[in-house]
Amino acid sequence: MERYGIPLDHFLIVSTIMFFIGIYGFIVRKNLITMLMSIELILNSVNINFVAFNSYLFPENMHGYFFALIVVAIAAAEASVAIALIINIYRRFSNIEVENIDEMKY
Amino acid sequence: MNILTLFIIIPILTVIGILCTKDYKGARVISAIGMGLQLVTSVTLIFLFLAERRAGNTSEMLFMVDYVWFEALNIHYLVGVDGISVAMITLTSIVSFAGIFASWEVKDLSREFFISLIILATGVFGFFISLDLFTMFLFYELAVIPMYLLIGIWGSGPKEYSAMKLTLMLMGGSALLLVGLFGIYFNSAPDGGHLTFNILEISKITIPIEAQRFFFPFTFIGFGILGALFPFHTWSPDGHASAPTAVSMLHAGVLMKLGGYGCFRVAMFLMPEAAHELAWIFLILTTISVVYGAFGAIWQKDLKYINAYSSVSHCGLVLFALLMMNETAMDGAIIQMISHGLMTALFFALIGMIYGRTHTRMINEMGGLMKVMPFLAVCYVIAGLASLGLPGLSGFVAEMTIFVGSFQHPDLFHRVATIIACSSIVITAVYILRVVGILLFGPIRNNDFLQLKDAKWYEKMSTVTLIVAVAGIGLFPLWLSDMIMNSLKPIMDQLSLF
Amino acid sequence: MINFSYTVWILLIPIFMFLLLGLLGMKFKPLLSGVLGTLGLGVVMVLSYFAAYQYFFELPRLNDTYQQIVAANYTWLRFSDALQIKMGVFIDPISVMMLVVVSTVSFMVNLYSIGYMKGEKGFQRFFAFLSLFTFSMLGLVVATNIFQMYVFWELVGVSSFLLIGFYYERPSAVAASKKAFIVTRFADLGFLIGILLLSFYTKTFDFLSLTGPQGIEITRNLTQTFMGMSVATWALLLIFMGGAGKSAMFPLHIWLPDAMEGPTPVSALIHAATMVVAGVFLVARLFPLYSFAAPDALTVVSYVGGFTSLFAAVIACTQFDIKRVLAFSTLSQIGYMMLALGVSGYGGEKGLGYMASMFHLFTHAMFKALLFLGAGSIIHAVHSNYMYDMGGLRKYLKITHWTFLIACLTIAGLFPLSGFWSKDEILVAAYNHNKLLFWIEYLVAGLTAFYMFRLYFRVFWNKEPHYHHTPHESPLVMTIPLMFLALASIFAGFLPFSHMVSSDRLPFATETNLTVAIPSVAIGLLGILIAFLLYKKDNNTVEKIVKGLGGVYKTIYNKFYIDEVYLFVTKKIIFNLISRPVAWFDRHVVDGTMNGIAGITVLTSRKIKGSQSGQLQHYAFFFVLGAIVFALIFIYLW
């Protein structure tokens, strides 16, 4: 399984590393923008997987590429919504630390 | 148009009519007209029913209509009546008619009040005409839910607490019931074939005995909670005490009857073998209910509490008689449901009217009301006498039919239980006379009461309707008893199959 | 064959009057409603007399036996094909006799009440209730089956309740009415269970079949026993319990003295002449059953009757409220009747007790109604119930005085007044059957004469107290009934009663037994003599005697503290030891459990809600952790 001279495993390793960096960032960082960026990391690690699997395993069809595109589109939409929210949060709390936003617990 | 469907359509039209009105005056007039029509329809139904029977139509249910409603699960809109349902429908229409007049003076949010009240009544009507377990359950829920709003919004005292308690306990009952109903449904075709909710079809097949043993208690207790089965009766005192007058009337008068009706129409009719096996457990519980409710009533000081405990006792008698499983006792149980429905509605109506004047329900704060409001006081005495089983009023007919029927049971255990239950007639006399003596007779304790006025026309309308019904049954019980007795035959055949 | 179906009107007229006066009475003038009620009962009385005449004199007898006729019978309620409550009219010697008694006394009392109740608030209501009572009582006596009897039994109970509590603003009247109803209701529970037991075995309610050969056969052959007694004995004892409650036999007698709180005409009608003898009538009605199937029960009846008559007579000697004296006297006389039934056998001469009992019922109704109406007339004049407010009244109340004297002589059993004849038969029956009971009754005869004349002398002779205004004789409408009843008391004894009423409906002849009759008159005279010496003039001998008796007198005066015992049982035991704990148990244990379940739910949610910290990153952390755990499970454990 060596297309383009790079084994599939390498792609997976990269994406896994990206994924866990994203998870780590999401859980640890307090800044909402950073957390949003972490989410982008997670999404893109998945995108890499989609594309890699598609071209290595099922080169005859394009489902994985399409899925990746959809994810990118959704991520864009999601990012815009998230940033809108963050701006509102900033207006209300004058900062965007996630720890301060616990008004709606129980 | 089928006459039974009218019972659903009239209330819907009434609700639409109320929505078009502007204030409480319009709302109450429209409601009165709607419920009046309902009463007329139900009286017509009696005559149509008796005419059909006289013409020789011996099928189990009359005026049947069957529409497929949800095909995948085989749910139908299936309605039909026998003598028992006809009697229950009449009871409901009388009580709801009287209830509208008893709430004539509800002025805040009155449109919403009347709408909720009528939705409640619709649920009850639908329940009594349904022959499909699913639609039956649907209507049952329709009747229970508005109760929460009615008590929570228009109630008095700790109304949120009572409303929540009542609704939660009844919902608990519904949950058990739902399990039971599904149990029946999934066992309705033991030999393969279509599962069905149709009561008549299920009654023809035998549900496997293991399933019956498992699901009978669910169904029976589920309905029993609504019928104030000991020890699941405690929603009743609190609920009644906080509920507005008309709601207490409908609740004690009609809604509690759904329990009794469901117990025999669903639990015992569809699972006769388990009913026979497990009856003794419930018989003990109901015997306790009967005596315990009566003793509980002696000590109470709040008029509504007294009546609520008395309802526990009387409704206990209904379930007690049903569990005797012989024709006379079951006949008595149905008459008791009707009789109790009427007289307890009368009680609650009167209590509401007295409370509206004196602003207290504590009997030791009142006294000598006979002098200031003779009409209401006389009505109260009549209700009391009906409750303690005076011949010539409905209570006597019901209780005697129950006792005679139960005592004909060949088993000694059942006869002993009957004797214990009989003793309730003395205890009933004690608490009724205690209340009557303190409340109505004697000197007036509070001079402010001297200015109080007697009943207004709409209050008279409400009480007289109920008294006429109570006395009518009490004086001429034969037609009712015969009508019920005839309809009991298929159920008795089913129960004596074992 | 004579058609008796017109007797239905005997029932329909009073109930119609009740509805008319009850619903529209307030629209009438008081006098009109009184007259209407009285007229209605007048018609009833005429019809009853006519029926009695036809029955005893025109109706042919079968083998010399009076027939039992079911003049009307309508199904009222159907329990099953065999068990039905029918409403009808049953005609046989005792029911016809009772029709006469009830309608006569009822009419007289109605007439009297027009005068007595004049100007009272609720005059119309009073007459409506009287009609209701008369209807119920008549329905009771003509019942064709035991359940019809029970229906009317309850109705007389409630009419009595309504009438005792007529002055509903007086707490004592309310309490008395409540007590009367509850005590009799308790007894009725026994009656009901008795009916249930009996009908369970015989499968019928019908008197004709119950007391006919077949019913007796079934009942006699019941082999089941329960706690050492046969089922038949149990059933009949329980039925007797119902009768004892209504007839105020010991220990269920406590309601009757208190029932005197009602208006005096009511006491005369209900608590002296008619309703209280319903128990006697009930036993008489089922007499063949008692006699053949449960002689033990009959023995109980006789002892209860005998004891009550002595017990009540002793108490009567100490009371000061004239109506209470009469009430205890009623108890005592009903005890006589019960005893006579108890010592009776079935058929012919052996059935002497039965006949004597009915005879005494008949004469007692007349003279006791007279006594009560006389007492009413006295109370009307002096506005007090107590002897110490009275004295020397013979000068003011001439007619009342003479009629009262006649009644006193009658109840004392002096020859040839009616009381003599009937009491004599009872004593003879007791003498033949049980010597102990005979001596008790003999003693009671003396006591009766004593306490009646104690009353008589205290009220009509003795020292005159200071009256606020001069007592005056009652109007004619009140004295006419007195005079009529006085005549009846004098002459009723000459009726050939044993030719009309007997246990097997076969006429037989009685003769006066001089060995019993002479001593009984003698002891009556002795009683009168003692009363004369003690009470004719105001003197302090009585006080000395009372002092001498000390605690004994006090015990008797307080009616042997039976009321206190009842009060203890009801207040302390039923209210405080059963009802209150039940109410507490319900609120705290049963409802507590329900609230507890709700409480546990709330508590649990409060405990675990901390995990919802509101920190987004905590949620995310747990989410990831969960996902990893699931992933591991799926990978390694699947």
Domain spans in chain A, listed from the N-terminal domain onward: 2-96
Cα distance between residue B313 and residue B229, in whole Å:
9
Residues C374-431: tens digit of each pLDDT: 888 888 888 888 877 887 788 888 888 888 888 888 888 887 888 888 888 888 888 8
Residues C9-64: tens digit of each pLDDT: 888 898 898 888 888 877 888 888 888 888 988 999 999 999 888 888 888 888 78
The residue behind tokens 């301060």 is A100
The per-residue pLDDT for A38 is 92
Is C620 in contact with A27 (Cβ distance < 8 A)? Answer: yes
- Mean residue pLDDT of chain C comes to 85
CA distances from C403 to B380, B428, C115, C368, C493 (A): 43, 44, 17, 12, 17
Cβ contact C239:C191 at 8 Å: yes
The per-residue pLDDT for A83 is 92
- For the cut 80, the answer to whether the pLDDT of residue A104 exceeds it is no
Q: Quick one: what percent of chain B has pLDDT higher than 70?
A: 99
The per-residue pLDDT for C394 is 80
Cα distance between residue C12 and residue C41, in whole Å:
11
Q: What is the 3-state secondary structure (H, E, C) of chain B?
A: CCHHHHHHHHHHHHHHHHHHCCCHHHHHHHHHHHHHHHHHHHHHHHHHHHHHHHCCCCCCCEEEEEEEEECCCCEEEEEEECHHHHHHHHHHHHHHHHHHHHCCCCCCCHHHHHHHHHHHHHHHHHHHHECEHHHHHHHHHHHHHHHHHHHHHHCCCCHHHHHHHHHHHHHHHHHHHHHHHHHHHHCCCCCCCCCCCEHHHHHHCCCCHHHHHHHHHHHHHHHHHHCCCCCCCCHHHHHHHHCCHHHHHHHHHHHHHHHHHHHHHHHHHHCHHHHHHHHHHHHHHHHHHHHHHHHHHHHCCEHHHHHHHHHHHHHHHHHHHHHHCCHHHHHHHHHHHHHHHHHHHHHHHHHHHHHHHHCCCEHHHCCCHHHHCHHHHHHHHHHHHHHCCCCCCHHHHHHHHHHHHHHCCCCHHHHHHHHHHHCHHHHHHHHHHHHHHHHCCCCCCCHHHHHCCCCCHHHHHHHHHHHHHHHHHHHCCHHHHHHHHHHHHHHHHHHCCC
Chain pair A-C, CB pairs under 8 angstroms? 26
Q: Average pLDDT in the C191-199 region?
A: 88
CB-nearest to C158 from B309, B385, B401 is B385
Cβ contact B255:B226 at 8 Å: yes
Is C575 in contact with B405 (Cβ distance < 8 A)? Answer: no
Whether the CB of B443 is below 8 Å from some CB of chain C: the reply is yes
Residues C545-601: tens digit of each pLDDT: 778 777 777 877 777 787 788 888 877 777 778 888 888 888 888 888 888 888 898
Chain C contacts in chain A segment 18-37 (CB below 8 A): 23, 26-28, 30
CA dihedral C60, C66, C72, C77 (to 10 degrees): -160
CB atoms within 10 A of CB A75: 18
CB-nearest to C614 from A23, A27, A102 is A102
The per-residue DSSP string of B458-481 comes to: HHHHHHHHHHHHHHHHHH--HHHH
Which DSSP symbol is given to C65? B
Cα distance between residue C180 and residue C174, in whole Å:
10
CB-nearest to A106 from C609, C620, C624 is C609
Residues A55-73: tens digit of each pLDDT: 888 888 888 899 999 999 9
- For the cut 80, the answer to whether the pLDDT of residue C513 exceeds it is no
* Smallest Cα distance from C202 to chain B, Å: 11
The per-residue pLDDT for A101 is 78
Q: Which two tokens stand for residue B169?
A: 């306990």
Q: Average pLDDT in the C472-477 region?
A: 81
Whether the CB of A60 is below 8 Å from some CB of chain C: the reply is no
Is A103 in contact with C614 (Cβ distance < 8 A)? Answer: yes
CB-nearest to C613 from A27, A30, A102 is A102
- Mean residue pLDDT of chain B comes to 86
- For the cut 90, the answer to whether the pLDDT of residue B52 exceeds it is no
Q: Is the torsion defined by CA of B197, B203, B206, B212 positive or negative?
A: positive
The per-residue DSSP string of C543-609 comes to: HHHHHHHTHHHHHHHTGGGHHHHHHIIIIIIIIIIIIHHHHHHIIIIIHHHHHHHHHHHHHHHHHHG
- For the cut 90, the answer to whether the pLDDT of residue C460 exceeds it is no
Chain C hits for A105, CB-CB cut-off 8 Å, are 612-614
Q: Average pLDDT in the A39-55 region?
A: 91
* Smallest Cα distance from C104 to chain B, Å: 25
Q: Average pLDDT in the B478-482 region?
A: 87
A vs B contact (3+ beta-carbon pairs below 8 A): no
Chain A hits for C616, CB-CB cut-off 8 Å, are 98, 101
Is B403 in contact with C83 (Cβ distance < 8 A)? Answer: no
CB-nearest to C617 from A98, A104, A106 is A98
The per-residue pLDDT for C604 is 92
Residues C88-114: tens digit of each pLDDT: 888 888 888 889 999 999 999 888 888
| pLDDT confidence bin for C463, thresholds 50/70/90 | confident
Is C80 in contact with B328 (Cβ distance < 8 A)? Answer: yes
Q: Which of B200-204, C202-206, C339-343 has the highest mean pLDDT?
A: C339-343
Chain A contacts in chain C segment 608-627 (CB below 8 A): 609, 612-617, 620-621, 624
Cα distance between residue C390 and residue C384, in whole Å:
8
Length of chain B: 498
User: What CATH architecture does domain A2-96 belong to?
Assistant: Orthogonal Bundle (1.10)
Cβ contact C392:C462 at 8 Å: yes
Residues C295-330: tens digit of each pLDDT: 888 888 889 988 898 888 888 888 888 888 888 888
Length of chain C: 638
Q: What is the 3-state secondary structure (H, E, C) of C304-335?
A: HHHHHHHHHHHHHCCCCEHHHHHHHHHHHHHH
- C-alpha closest to that of B114 among B160, B74, B146: B146
Alpha helices, H only, chain A: 8-28, 32-57, 63-93
* Subunit partners of chain B (3 or more CB pairs within 8 A): C
Half-sphere exposure for C437 (CA within 13 Å, toward CB): 31
Cα distance between residue C155 and residue C87, in whole Å:
14
The per-residue pLDDT for C225 is 72
Helices (H) and strands (E) in chain B, counts: 22, 2
Is C614 in contact with A26 (Cβ distance < 8 A)? Answer: no
**Strand C229-230 to strand B62-70: parallel, antiparallel, or no bridges (unpaired)?**
unpaired
The per-residue pLDDT for A3 is 61
The per-residue pLDDT for B1 is 63
Cα distance between residue C257 and residue C260, in whole Å:
6
**Strand C84-91 to strand C69-78: parallel, antiparallel, or no bridges (unpaired)?**
antiparallel
Is B430 in contact with C580 (Cβ distance < 8 A)? Answer: no
The amino acid present at B377, given as its one-letter code, is A
Radius of gyration of chain C (CA): 31
Cα distance between residue B370 and residue B196, in whole Å:
57
* Smallest Cα distance from C205 to chain B, Å: 11
Which DSSP symbol is given to C512? -
Range of the domain at B51: 3-495
Q: Average pLDDT in the B170-183 region?
A: 89
CB atoms within 10 A of CB B66: 13
Least confident of B420-424, C148-152, C292-296, C480-484: C292-296
Is C598 in contact with B165 (Cβ distance < 8 A)? Answer: yes
CB-nearest to C158 from B234, B390, B482 is B390
Chain B hits for C169, CB-CB cut-off 8 Å, are 368, 371, 441-443
Is B234 in contact with C590 (Cβ distance < 8 A)? Answer: yes
Name the helix (H) or strand (E) containing C158.
helix C146-164
CA distances from B160 to B238, C455, C550 (A): 11, 66, 65
Give me the number of domains chain B comprises. 1
- For the cut 70, the answer to whether the pLDDT of residue A106 exceeds it is no
The per-residue pLDDT for C637 is 82
| pLDDT confidence bin for B297, thresholds 50/70/90 | confident
CA distances from C594 to A28, B292, B314, B370 (A): 46, 17, 22, 39
* Subunit partners of chain C (3 or more CB pairs within 8 A): A, B
| pLDDT confidence bin for C537, thresholds 50/70/90 | confident
Q: Average pLDDT in the B472-492 region?
A: 86
The amino acid present at C195, given as its one-letter code, is I
* Smallest Cα distance from C79 to chain B, Å: 6
ipTM: 0.90
User: Which residues does C3 contact at the CB level (< 8 Å), separation at least 6?
Assistant: C71
CB atoms within 10 A of CB C441: 29
| pLDDT confidence bin for B497, thresholds 50/70/90 | low
| pLDDT confidence bin for A6, thresholds 50/70/90 | confident
Cβ contact A15:A8 at 8 Å: no
Q: Quick one: what percent of chain C has pLDDT higher than 90?
A: 6
Alpha helices, H only, C80-145: 93-116, 123-141
The per-residue pLDDT for A4 is 67
The per-residue pLDDT for A75 is 92
Based on the number of CB atoms within 10 Å of its own CB, is B457 exposed (0-12), middle (13-18) or buried (19 or more)? exposed
The per-residue pLDDT for C630 is 93
| pLDDT confidence bin for B188, thresholds 50/70/90 | confident
Q: Locate the chain A residue with the closest alpha carbon to C617.
A: A27
Is C617 in contact with A28 (Cβ distance < 8 A)? Answer: yes
**3-state secondary structure at position B79:** strand
pTM for this prediction: 0.87
Whether the CB of C606 is below 8 Å from some CB of chain A: the reply is no
Cβ contact B128:B260 at 8 Å: no
Chain C contacts in chain B segment 318-347 (CB below 8 A): 327-328, 331
B vs C contact (3+ beta-carbon pairs below 8 A): yes
| pLDDT confidence bin for C458, thresholds 50/70/90 | confident
Chain C hits for A99, CB-CB cut-off 8 Å, are 615
